[in-house]
A and B are shown apart, each in its own frame.
Chain A
Amino acid sequence: MEEIIKENWNTAQVAAGGPGQKTSRIVVDPITRLEGHGKIDIFLDAKGEVERAYFQVPELRGFEVFSRGRPAEDMPQITSRICGVCPTAHHMASTKALDDLYKVEPTPTAKKIRELVYNIFFLEDHALHVYVLGGPDFIVGPQAPKELRNIVGVIQKVGIDIGKRVINTRRQLRELITYLGGKVIHPVLGLPGGVAKRLAPEELPKFKEIANEGLDFALFTLQVFKDIVLKNPEYVKLITSDAYTHKTYYMGLVDENNHVNFYDGLIRIVDTTGKEYAKFHTSNYLDYVAEHVEPWSYIKFNYLKPLGWRGFTDGADTSIYAVAPIARLNAADGMATPLAQNAYEEMYSILGGKPVHHTLANHWARVIEMIYAAERIIELVNDPDITSENIRNIPVNEPKVGIGVVEAPRGTLFHHYETDSNGLIQKANLIVATQNNSSRIAMSVEKSAKALIHKGEVTEGLLNMIEMAFRAYDPCHGCATHSLPGQMPLVARIFDSSGSLYKEIMR
């Protein structure tokens, strides 16, 4: 390229907010340097005690804005790219938003196929967390060497056969999603009023077989959790310790019996004592959910709108709510299936009744949800409707506004679209699972930092203990900033009272 053309090109690019070309001197906004996708800045006072810890998420991609002008029917596939770990959650929330946008009811079979796919996804996604992401802290142990605190360590601890079972069961479950969704990562089945593919009768035996294995696997996982975690008094102490406890509100979808439902229902919120605070249709979410902006993180911080932003405080005066497994169980009166209900009652009886405020109890609640998902899958594959050919209602109404909500594995997920009469997106608002938890995660991180750092003494083990505080939420900052994937590199930077960098710990 001629030098002058290149110069003009770059000038134009920069004027347009462009990145410039790699061959040129890049004239763009100055950028400060940073390592790691998750970040905690901890500031100490003159005595070496923690004055303030900031939990930060340092990126965003802007799906709401670049969705503009796109046909709404493309949104289930575009928004699934917010997160490749939970693409099915975004795909399903988006598809439900399209139902609402076009005011079209999915056929009964379509609804069942969606719920089937969704519960299969829940089961395999929760299994991923239990065995690969969060579980190693418990199964291998929080103090175990780093090189063992992963799936390899889990397999060593539980045995290669069980490790293979985990891998095999996940693979089989994901094959079922592939069959109905085309792709398991970024599925394509969702259409307003239906699904693109039916479940052929000749496939049903395979679905039933894997469904039964799924339930065995979920019950087995509960046993693993009991044997390894509950039989170890140290772990139980850790779960119930104050450093990992916050009294907040809890939110989740419930069915007509106030039982946990992942795919559909009303949103229910309970207060810090477990009393119902609100129960509302998903289309009224803006009356209850609000986002607060802090200058030190790209993630926004959610709170209950009627109560107003009251800062990062827990207890009776808080306006902060939590989502995800333990919040869902707290917000409901029980589980809709028998074995999950037994496990639900057992957990609350052992942990001293509802609500449970211990962040680390999320791991237990997650296993209970696996049992519910597995039982629901069995119900659905035995439903005579499931193989019907009647899988679509074609929309006839003019689109305007659509709101779709599901429970993602990591919490309540909101998709809200507004379109022109041609169904092109004019406005999109997305409130993703982890973001609902961001205020509570920020508190958890600060609280554990304050509990674990004294007189300026910072140990290497600190980071994992702080990480455990937020890993229990299974946070997905890919979702939260619509930018980054599930687990992340993390850096903790500790500053002394003069503001100088005192120590930096990374993983």
Chain B
Amino acid sequence: MSEKPKIALYWCASCGGCEESVVDLAEDLLFVVDNVDIVLWPVGLDFKKKDVEAMPDGSIVASLINGAIRTTEQEEMAHLLRRKSQVVIAYGACAQLGGIPGLANQFPLEEILKFVYEDAPSVVNELKTRPLEKFHDNGRTPELPGLWNGVRALDQVIDVEYYIPGCPPSPKLLKEAVLALLSGKLPPKGTVLAPDVALCEECPKKDTKPTDLKFETFKRPHLWEIDPEKCLLAQGFVCIGPATRSGCGALCVTGNMPCTGCYGPTSRVKDQGAKILSSIASSIGADTPDEIDKILIGIPDPVGTFYRYGMPGSLLKRKVIL
């Protein structure tokens, strides 16, 4: 048993979808369990932080960490696993780029707390009670962790060797990563363990993508019929596919909805949002500012559209109110 390579799986600020993607290995999960020794996996196995602390540094072959970093507890666990692991893999969009929870970086924490505990229409809280880190209750003091003001991607907290992209990653990518770990044939540090081509390459509607796109309107998908056979960009829907790494199998597009970019950029693109924004902007068929404004009505939330999964890890990082 002890000769098998040790693997840890851990979650930070995440939704559990990455954990489900591991369960979705289905029959292959039995293969993984046979070939590695999972030393930490809170969702499926009993968890002991102290056991991990007691392990020699570097004794875990790889830690796959999903979720963004929001609390100190998550940050501490990330540092602990870093110390104990030869390789750390940021697993999923939240760990890689900040993910959808990263959209909170457009809002101060206080705004979130005020809404949740005071202003939400279902809240009854005349005394404006808030959860406290230390609450003194008749000599008893239950404690809560505090919250960071912002959300960070994993490599903004610890050093990371590899990334497995996606919200969630496909079980196929996970299986390939495990096989690479088992064989010891690892790519250079910093590699994203997914095909390094744009999603369009594996899109079933690829053949209908025009070489020269020209937008005269942007269509919001709920207001228009969607032709299931034709390139979504060619139909005027904002599809992030051209700026997004492939590897999912073009799932959303197969579901007749545009790609929203969860696999992040390819290695040739530094900032996914900027890339698709500039590519789309250069294809707008308009000559005057008024015409441009009219066309852009179809993209009412540029940050949520172009940086849906990647704001903390992008050049923007967060909204700063000076």
Chain A residues near B (Cβ < 8 Å): 12-19, 22, 28-37, 39, 41, 43, 51-52, 54, 56, 58-62, 64-66, 68-71, 73-74, 77-78, 81-85, 87, 98, 102, 128, 132, 146-147, 149-152, 164, 167-168, 170-171, 174, 178, 180-189, 191-193, 196-197, 285-286, 289-298, 300, 305, 309, 392, 394-395, 416, 422-424, 427, 429, 431, 476, 478, 483-489, 495, 499, 506-507
Is B82 in the interface zone, CB < 8 Å from A?
no
| Residue with the highest number of chain A CB atoms closer than 10 Å, among B147, B222, B304 | B222
Select B146's contact among A32, A196, A286, A506, beta carbons within 8 Å: A32
**A309 touching B121 in the complex, CB below 8 Å, given contacts A74-B301, A297-B144:** no
Select one of A17, A32, A197 contacting B228, CB under 8 A.
Answer: A197
Contact size range, B: 35 or more
Q: Are A291 and B120 in contact (CB under 8 A)?
A: yes
CB nearest neighbor in B for A84: B17
| Residues B304 and A74 in contact, CB atoms below 8 Å apart | yes
Known A-B contacts A59-B145, A60-B112; the reply to A487 vs B124 at CB < 8 A is: no
Contact A35 B73 (CB under 8 A): yes
| Complex-state Cα separation, A15 to B99, whole angstroms | 24
Q: How far is it, in angstroms, between the C-alpha of A16 and the C-alpha of B21 when the chains are bound? A: 36
CB atoms of A60 and B140 under 8 A apart: no
Smallest CB separation, A283 vs chain B (Å)? 13
Report whether A32 and B145 are in contact in the complex, using a CB–CB cutoff of 8 Å. Answer: yes
Instruction: Collect the chain B residues with CB atoms within 8 Å of residue A60's CB.
Output: 112, 116, 147
**Chain A residues in 8 Å Cβ range of B207:** none
Q: B112 contacts A31, CB within 8 Å?
A: no
Partner of A183 from B134, B137, B145, B251 at Cβ < 8 Å: B251
Which residue of the partner chain, among B116, B131, B134, B257, contacts A188 with CB atoms under 8 Å? B257
CB distance from A57 to the nearest CB of B (A): 9
The answer to whether A170 and B26 have CB atoms under 8 Å apart is yes
Convert B135-153 into 0s and 1s, putting 1 for each residue whose CB lies closer than 8 angstroms to a CB of A. 1010111111111111110
**Is B54 an interface residue when CB atoms closer than 8 A count as contact?**
no
Q: Is the CB of B223 within 8 A of A18?
A: no
Roughly how many angstroms separate A193 CA and B147 CA in the complex, as a whole number?
39
B145 touches A64 (CB 8 A): no
Q: List 21 A-B contacts (CB under 8 A).
A: A16-B320, A17-B150, A18-B318, A22-B157, A29-B147, A34-B143, A59-B70, A62-B115, A78-B103, A81-B99, A84-B168, A182-B253, A185-B17, A188-B252, A286-B121, A416-B121, A422-B300, A484-B13, A487-B43, A507-B46, A507-B47
Taking CB atoms, residues of chain A closer than 8 Å to B321 are 15-16
Which residues from chain A contact B254 at a C-beta distance below 8 Å? 182
Tell me which residues across on chain A come within 8 A of B105, comparing CB atoms. Answer: 18
What is the chain A residue whose CB lies nearest that of B93? Answer: A81
- 10 closest residue pairs by CB, A with B: A84-B17, A182-B255, A485-B16, A62-B112, A19-B150, A31-B146, A17-B108, A84-B15, A34-B145, A73-B222
Q: A64-B120, A87-B15 are in contact. Are A174 and B24 (CB under 8 A)?
A: yes
Chain A residues with CB under 8 Å of B50's CB are 506
Kindly count the residue-residue contacts between A and B in the assembled complex, taking CB atoms under 8 Å apart.
327
**Minimum distance in angstroms from A225 CB to a CB of chain B:** 21
The chain B residue sitting closest to A104, CB to CB, is B222
| Cβ 8 A contact of A286, one of B46, B122, B137, B141 | B122
User: B124 touching A291 by the CB < 8 A rule?
Assistant: yes
Contact A171 B322 (CB under 8 A): no
Tell me which residues across on chain A come within 8 A of B131, comparing CB atoms: 293-298
- Among B15, B112, B140, the one with the most A-chain Cβ atoms within 10 Å of its Cβ is B15
- Classify the interface of chain B: helix, strand, loop or mixed: loop
- CB neighbours of B122 from chain A (8 A): 285-286, 289-291, 429, 431
Q: In the bound complex, how far is the Cα of B48 from the Cα of A146, in angstroms? A: 12
- Find out whether the CB atom of A69 lies under 8 angstroms from the CB atom of B133: no
The residues of B that contact A102 with a CB separation of less than 8 Å are 222
Q: Which of B137, B225, B248 contacts A392 (CB 8 A)?
A: B225
In the assembled complex, the CB of B273 is this many whole angstroms from the nearest CB of chain A, namely: 15
Q: A19-B149, A486-B43 are in contact. Are A185 and B320 (CB under 8 A)?
A: no
Decide: B17 and A495 in contact? CB cutoff 8 A.
no
Instruction: Please tell me if the beta carbons of A147 and B255 are within 8 angstroms of each other in the complex.
Output: no
Q: How far is the CA of A489 from the CA of B156 in the complex (A)?
A: 24
Contact of A394 among B33, B167, B225 (CB under 8 A): B225
B15 touching A82 by the CB < 8 A rule?
yes
A495 touches B156 (CB 8 A): no
Q: Are B46 and A73 in contact (CB under 8 A)?
A: no
Q: A188-B255, A292-B125, A506-B49 are in contact. Are A98 and B135 (CB under 8 A)?
A: no
Residues of B within 8 A of A416 (CB): 121
User: Which B residues form the contact surface with A (CB < 8 A)?
Assistant: 11, 13-21, 23-24, 26-27, 29-30, 33, 42-50, 70-73, 76, 99-101, 103-112, 115-117, 120-125, 129-135, 137, 139-152, 156-157, 167-168, 220-226, 228, 248, 251-257, 260, 300-301, 304, 308, 318-322
Contact between chains at A485 and B14 (CB < 8 Å): yes
Q: Is the CB of B318 within 8 A of A13?
A: yes
Verify A298–B16 contact, CB threshold 8 A: no
**Judging by beta carbons under 8 Å apart, are B226 and A196 in contact?**
yes
Complex contact A84–B14 (CB within 8 A):
yes
Contact assessment for A62 and B320 in the assembled complex, using a CB-CB cutoff below 8 Å: no
Rounded to whole Å, the gap between the CB of A197 and the closest CB of chain B is: 5
CB–CB A19/B148 < 8 A:
yes
CB–CB A147/B46 < 8 A? yes
B246, chain A: closest CB distance, angstroms: 15
Looking at the assembled complex, report how far the CB atom of A446 sits from the nearest CB atom of chain B, in whole angstroms. 12
Q: Which residues of B contact A309 (CB under 8 A)?
A: 124
List of B residues within 8 angstroms of A83 by Cβ: 15-17
Residue pair B143, A32 in contact (C-beta under 8 Å): yes
Q: How far is the CA of A31 from the CA of B45 in the complex (A)?
A: 28
Q: Bound state CA distance, A35 and B73, in angstroms?
A: 6
Contacts of B168 in A (CB 8 A): 84, 185-186
- Docked-complex contact B320 and A18, CB < 8 angstroms: yes
Alpha-carbon distance A423/B301, docked complex (angstroms): 11
- Given the known inter-chain contacts A60-B112, A487-B43, please indicate yes or no for A31 contacting B318, CB distance below 8 A: no
Known: A34-B145, A61-B70, A73-B222. A197 touches B256 (CB 8 A): yes
Of all chain B residues, the one with the shortest Cβ separation from A435 is B122
User: Which one of B14, B26, B257 lies within 8 Å of A168 (CB-CB)?
Assistant: B26
> In the complex the two chains form, is A81's CB within 8 Å of B101's CB?
yes
B71/A58 in contact, CB under 8 A: yes
| Residue in A71, A295, A395, A483 whose CB lies within 8 Å of B130 | A295
Cross-chain contact B222 with A499 (CB below 8 angstroms): no
Q: Is the CB of A196 within 8 A of B156?
A: no
The interface residues of chain A lying within 8 Å CB-to-CB of B29 are 167
Q: Which of B18, B255, B256 gathers most chain A CB within 10 Å? A: B255
Complex Cα spacing A431 to B122, Å: 9
- Chain A residues near B146: list those with CB within 8 A: 29-32
User: From residue A479, how far is it (CB to closest CB) to chain B in Å?
Assistant: 9
Q: Is the CB of B167 within 8 A of A81?
A: yes
Which residue, B76, B125, B256, has most C-beta atoms of chain A within 10 A? Answer: B256
* Cα separation A295 to B43 with both chains bound (whole Å): 28
Complex interface: chain B residues within 8 A of A147 (CB): 46
